[in-house]
Structure 1
Amino acid sequence: MGNGAKANMKRERNAKDTKTAKSQTKSNEKAMNIQCQVCRQTFLQTTKAPALLEHASNKHNKGLPECFPGISA
């Protein structure tokens, strides 16, 4: 058995042990359930009120109730 065959066997053995990385893109899209009522931009459900207030004031010069009704500061 030559070195090429040994290397090929080693690659096959290691390929079985490696795990494929899983993307969180689909689960993050499902969790985007906070929506700005002015521009319809969505935010993750874990977004805190200060970040939403920053969006409302910087993008629209409005307060939190105008852009995100139901979210309290």
Structure 2
Amino acid sequence: MGNGAKAQQKRERNAKDKGVAKSQLKVNQQAMDIQCQICKSTFLKTTKAPALLEHAQNKHTKGLADCFPTFAAS
């Protein structure tokens, strides 16, 4: 077996190992379950209260409870 055959075998082995590229986009889209009741903007479920309060104050000049009445800090 020459070097050309070894290189071809290595290419075939590497082609088998490579899977489908994994993307986090679909998972992130599904995890957006906090929604502003005024503008309907969505936020990731891991978003903390200070970021939501900032949105409420800057975009709507309202409080956290006005924009996100169902938000429970965890």
Deviation larger for 61-70 or 12-21 = 12-21
1-structure distance, mates of 2:72, 2:16: 50
> Stretches of 4+ moved more than 6 A in 1?
none
Matches within 5 A, 1:1-73: 4-72=4-72
Q: What TM-score, normalized by structure 2, do the two folds share? A: 0.77
Per the TM alignment, residue 51 of structure 1 is displaced from its structure 2 partner at its CA by 0.8
SS in 2 for 1:39: coil
Identity among equivalent positions (%) equals 71
Aligned-pair Cα RMSD in Å: 2.0
- Normalising to structure 1: TM-score of the pair? 0.78
Check the 8 A contact 2:34/2:71 in 1, yes or no: no
SS of 1:53's equivalent? helix
- Equivalenced residue count is 73
Q: Which moved more, 1:28-37 or 1:15-24?
A: 15-24
Rounded to whole Å, the distance in 2 between the matches of 1:39 and 1:3 is 64
Q: 1:72 to 1:13 in 2, by over 3 A?
A: closer
Unaligned runs of 5+ in 1: none
